[in-house]
Amino acid sequence: MEDSIILKIDNVFKNFGGILALNGVSFAVEGNSITGLIGPNGSGKSTLFNVISGFYRKDSGEISFKGEKIERLEPYSIAMLGIGRTFQISEVPEKTTVLENLLLAPKRQCGEGVFNVFLNPVRIKREHENYLNNALDILELIQLRELKNEYAENLSGGQKKLLSLGRILMFEPELLLLDEPTAGVNPTLVKDLMVAIRNLRDQKGITILLVEHNMRVISEICERVVVLDFGQKIAEGTPEEIQRSEVVLEAYLSGSSKRGLLHEDS
Amino acid sequence: MGLVNFLVYLAIMMGIYGILSLSLNLQYGFTGLANFGHVAFFCLGAYTSTILVLVFKMPFVIGLLGAMVIAGLFGYVISIPTANLKEDYWAIATLAAAEVVRIFFLNEDWVVGGGPYQGGSFGIGGIPQPLRSLFSAYTYPFFYLAVVLLCLAATYVIINTLTQAPFGRVIKSIRSGDNLPQALGKDVRAFRMKVMAIGGSFGGLAGCLWAHYHGFISPNQFMPLETFIVWAMVIVGGKANNRGAIVGAVIIMVFYNSTRFLKDYIPIEEVTLASLRMVVIGVLIVVAMIFMKEGLIKEKKTLY
Amino acid sequence: MTFVQVVINSIVRASELTLLSMGLTIVYDILKFANFAHTEFAVVGVYLALFLNVSLGLPIVPAAILASMVTGFLSIALDRAVFKRMRSSSGIIVMVTSLGLGIALRNSIRAIWGADAKNYSVPLQAPIITDYFRITPLQIWIILVGMAAMFSFHLLLHHTTLGKAMRASSDNPELAQASGIATEKIITRVWFIAIAFASIGGILIGLETYILPYMGFAIIVPVFCATILGGIGNPYGAMLGALVLGFAENFGLYINFGALLNLGGILGFSKELFIPTGYKPAISFIILIAVLLIRPRGILGRKKEG
């Protein structure tokens, strides 16, 4: 059904000084679904995320969100359209507590305006109470509540991943691009994460596109999977179809020998 | 100068530089903007207020507000082409901008309407002091000190409120890089421009207070070394801590002014003394950046 | 002032600037920070040469060479003492540190030698004067030294192992380190070359004009401008930027903008309109802002990701 497609990638190319990171990638993501994006290292997954979210500029092709072309917008404008993303290496501002990280996320906060700070203190306080409650709930969910006043930079890699997830949830996106959300997270928590991600789809109507290397996660929660290799889509289908695909197996097996030491992304 | 007079003078200077330090700290400490041209705001504020009050015979308050508006506007304008640049480009651009401002006032005496006010490299003298006639020569400095401290307090309250508000959260995230704030929908460029405008306008306030206290301004008073002194204050006192900024101003001002008297006790030339003072400032910056880059009073952790 | 004279002045200025900008750009490329003490190092060289030349009586050429080399070594020592501790620090921290170092260097010189203008002791040489231009032997020397410097830089980059290592290191620092190219050794050599060249540039300026403690600060904006204009991190960019800026500064003062605005009589603009000489430093600033607005990577700079 055409009108339920929330994200459409159409023949996107991206060249990095000679290296063709994205070589004509096309696929569509249906609204209110969980789609996986996999591929060997250097296949263009993170590049694609960066292009969709506006951090890189595509060379050619079209990307549409909810039917509208996203054209040459700054990353923050694309975010405000409703596309949230996490980063492969968690971004954590210095000297910011876990709680502060979450409170940073909500959009259009009254207290972010210079004049509002002085003219609208009541509303700011009200919003703050609201955000604080939401934040504490989310911290509970990702099991970081006890660390709420810790500086985020002191967290472990896995905890930072969780923090990134919690933060982007506070942002309340419609489309969520998750870059390796379970990397470094301990296995018992991964189960809870998978439940949480499914809940995002079911209860909040969020669409999720996730890059993952953990095949268990992919097969358990993704409805569809897109496979990239060398910047091209080599397969698309259900997790079962992908696991049985020879093309995909071939791509992963021949992996490290084909790739040089230098890979900008994965 | 008697001891009391000197102490009042010192306190006034601490107040004025405290305002400069707070405003630079907002830009560097909180937002990560390497503003190497802060003296430009100081200079613009001083000249704007002087011209408004001396030439156009406006009341002091108008001069003060005008100083803040012009300096703030300059901060906004200078960040239009630079707001998306990396820190090293930003640094040289602000440095260059401050020099152009100074060169402008050095060359243009028409700004002051020519005639009895001179201007240009001669500077402008006879700047009226607000409400001078209400006080005796002895008590007036105390009044001025009160004015300066009031302005310092207002600056502190305004900047501190901003940095503790969600606004402050955003600029602190910008300090560590653009990626996260962009991903969370924050217009990073606009925030940087606002910080330059706000920081700039308080720099202008300091300039106005300076001009009306000294009664004489010239481009020589607004050399880059002023910027560097304020940097030392921010770094030594405490990066991203508003109380630290004031403490830094106090410490550096004490150091700077106490060494003046060495001349009376040690046979040393003025030029040598002034140079050695700056050597210490330079070394302080280097040492602080290596061993103590957060300053004496560290950034406060926000707790809810 | 004739057209030819302006061209000569431009080339002389470009030669001076290129010696300074090449060094700034390679330090930026290899060490990844903007060294705000760069021109101050050059001034150390200037005053060391002054000491050797005037106080010790050495002729200017050996004095200049010796002073540049000593200053080069000094920069290595300061790198070890200060910047080596900060190899992994963020750019802004190192940059501010270099600012502090520059302040300390500049004012130490001023404390030792005083604030008065000084001059090298060189034999007076008669300028060559024609109807169209006037050029001193010194200016000819400056142009020749500038050209020699550019040429030797080119040789360095393409015909030495150090040059190859520098180019590799600048393209990909992690790979260079992994391949066994000892980056610390490169850093040492880069400092030496950068600062030695810069010192020569400063000495040439001192020979042509005066020697003042703050002369480094007076030239910092033009040098940065030339470097950024050409493309920071690219030595050929530094040369190109210096050339463009040398011409821009001199032609900027020479051109009668009134005649330009007149558009050959169309607008009836009859006044003469020159940029006042007092604004000469502003020319490099305006160019800098224009470059940052339009094309921050400069003429020869590489485009970063995105």
Query: Least CA distance to B32: which residue of chain C?
Result: C92
Q: How far apart are CA B224 and CA B95, in angstroms?
A: 8
Q: Count how many Cα atoms sit within 13 Å of the Cα of residue B299 in the half-sphere of its side chain.
A: 24
By the CB < 8 Å criterion, does B86 face chain C? yes
* Structure confidence at residue B62 (pLDDT): 94
Integer Cα distance of B174 and B163 in angstroms: 13
Of C86, C279, C289, the CB nearest to B103: C279
Which of the four pLDDT bands, split at 50, 70 and 90, describes residue B186? Answer: very high
For residue C24, what are the β-bridge partners? none
Residues 140-159 of A with CB under 8 A from B: 148-149, 151
Backbone φ and ψ of B177, nearest 5°:
140, 160
R_g of chain B, CA atoms, integer Å: 19
User: pTM for the complete prediction?
Assistant: 0.90
Q: Judging by DSSP bridges, how do beta strands C128-129 and C134-135 pair with one another?
A: antiparallel
Q: A12 has which bridge partners?
A: A25
Over the stretch A201-226, which tens digit does the pLDDT of each residue have?
998 899 999 999 888 899 999 999 99
Residue among A219, A75, A98, A265 at smallest CA distance from A165:
A98
Alpha carbon separation from C51 to A256, B62, C59, C118, C200 (Å, rounded): 61, 54, 11, 11, 15
pLDDT mean over B191-219 = 95
Q: Any chain A CB within 8 A of the CB of B177?
A: yes
The residue in chain C having the minimum alpha-carbon distance to the alpha carbon of residue B234 is: C96
B158/C48 Cα distance (integer angstroms): 50
In this prediction, residue C125 has a pLDDT band, given cuts at 50, 70 and 90, of confident
Structure tokens at A47: 């590049």
Specify the amino acid at residue A256.
S
Model confidence pLDDT, tens digit, residues B273-293: 889 999 999 999 999 999 988
Q: Number of Cβ pairs closer than 8 Å across B and C?
A: 133
Predicted local distance difference test score (pLDDT) of residue C52: 95
The predicted structure's pLDDT at residue A34: 94
Stronger pLDDT, B119 or A91, i.e. the higher one: A91
Closest Cα in chain C, distance from residue A200 (Å)? 31
Q: What is the pLDDT of residue A263?
A: 38
Q: Among A225-234, B162-171, C122-131, C177-186, which stretch is predicted with the lowest mean pLDDT?
A: C177-186
Beta carbons within 10 angstroms of residue A13's beta carbon: 16
Cβ-defined contact of A75 to B183 (cutoff 8 Å): yes
pLDDT band, very low/low/confident/very high, at B244 (cuts 50, 70, 90): very high
Share of chain B above pLDDT 90, in %: 63
Distance separating alpha carbons of residues C65 and C68, to the nearest angstrom = 5
Nearest to A264 by CA among B184, C306, C33: C306
ipTM of the complex: 0.90
Task: Give B282's contacts in chain C (Cβ within 8 Å).
Answer: 100-107
CB A198 within 8 A of CB A171: no
Are residues C306 and A57, on separate chains, in Cβ contact within 8 Å? Answer: yes
Minimal Cα distance from C217: which residue of B? B224
Could you tell me if B232 and B95 are in contact, meaning their C-beta atoms sit under 8 angstroms apart? no
Question: Which residues of chain C are within 8 Å of residue A264 when distances are taken between CB atoms?
Answer: 305
pLDDT digits (tens, 9 = 90+) for A56-80: 999 999 999 998 998 889 999 999 9
Which pLDDT score is estimated for C130? Answer: 85
Residue C158 burial (C-beta neighbours within 10 Å; 0-12, 13-18, 19+): exposed
- Tokens at A208, concatenated: 């999720």
Q: Lowest-pLDDT range, A143-147, B13-17, B83-87, B211-215?
A: B83-87
Nearest Cβ partner of B172 from A80, A91, A96?
A: A96
Q: Note the pLDDT of residue B72.
A: 97
Q: How far is CA B60 from the centre of its chain?
A: 19
Residues of A with CB under 8 A from a CB of C: 16-17, 50, 55-57, 261-262, 264
Q: Is A59 exposed, middle or buried (0-12, 13-18, 19+ CB in 10 A)?
A: middle
Res C37 pLDDT > 80: yes
**Cα gap B220→C65, rounded to integer Å:** 36
* Mean of the per-residue pLDDT values of chain A: 89
The pLDDT tens digits of the residues spanning C150-202 come to 999 999 988 988 888 877 776 766 666 566 555 788 889 999 999 999 999 99
pLDDT of residue C126: 86
Query: Whose structure tokens read 């409650």?
Result: A133
Is B107 close to C276, i.e. CB distance below 8 A? Answer: yes
Residue B58 in 3-state DSSP? Answer: coil
Indicate the residue of C172, C302, C303 with minimum beta-carbon distance to A262.
C172
Confidence band for B117, pLDDT divided at 50, 70 and 90: low
* Residue C81 to residues A114, B290, C194, Cα–Cα distance (Å): 43, 10, 18
Closest CA to B34 of C226, C58, C34, A246: C34
Of B161, B173, B302, the CB nearest to A118: B161
Residue A209 is predicted with a pLDDT of 95
Distance CA A128, CA A111 (A): 9
- pLDDT of A264 reads 37
On whether any CB of chain B is under 8 Å from the CB of A167, the answer is yes
* Residue A104 contacts residue B173 (beta carbons within 8 Å): yes
Find the closest chain C residue to B93 by CA distance: C289
The pLDDT confidence band at residue B126, using thresholds 50, 70 and 90, is: confident
Kind plus residue range of the DSSP H or E element containing A176 = strand A175-179
Please enumerate, as own/partner, the contacts of B188-192 that have beta carbons within 8 Å and a separation of 24 or more. Answer: B188/A76, B188/B84, B189/B83, B189/B84, B191/B31, B191/B167, B192/B31, B192/B33, B192/B79, B192/B83
Cβ neighbourhood burial of C269 (10 Å; 0-12, 13-18, 19+)? middle
Stretch A185-205: mean pLDDT: 88
What integer is the mean pLDDT of B178-185? 95
Q: Answer whether residue B127 shows pLDDT above 90.
A: no
More confident residue, B258 or B168: B168
**Helix C60-81 with C38-50: angle, nearest 10 deg:** 140
Is B183–A132 a contact, with Cβ atoms under 8 angstroms apart? no
pLDDT at A262 (0 to 100): 36
In this complex, is the C-beta atom of B180 within 8 Å of any C-beta atom belonging to chain C?
A: no
Query: Is the model's pLDDT at C232 over the cut of 80?
Result: yes
Taking residues B245-254, what's their average pLDDT?
95
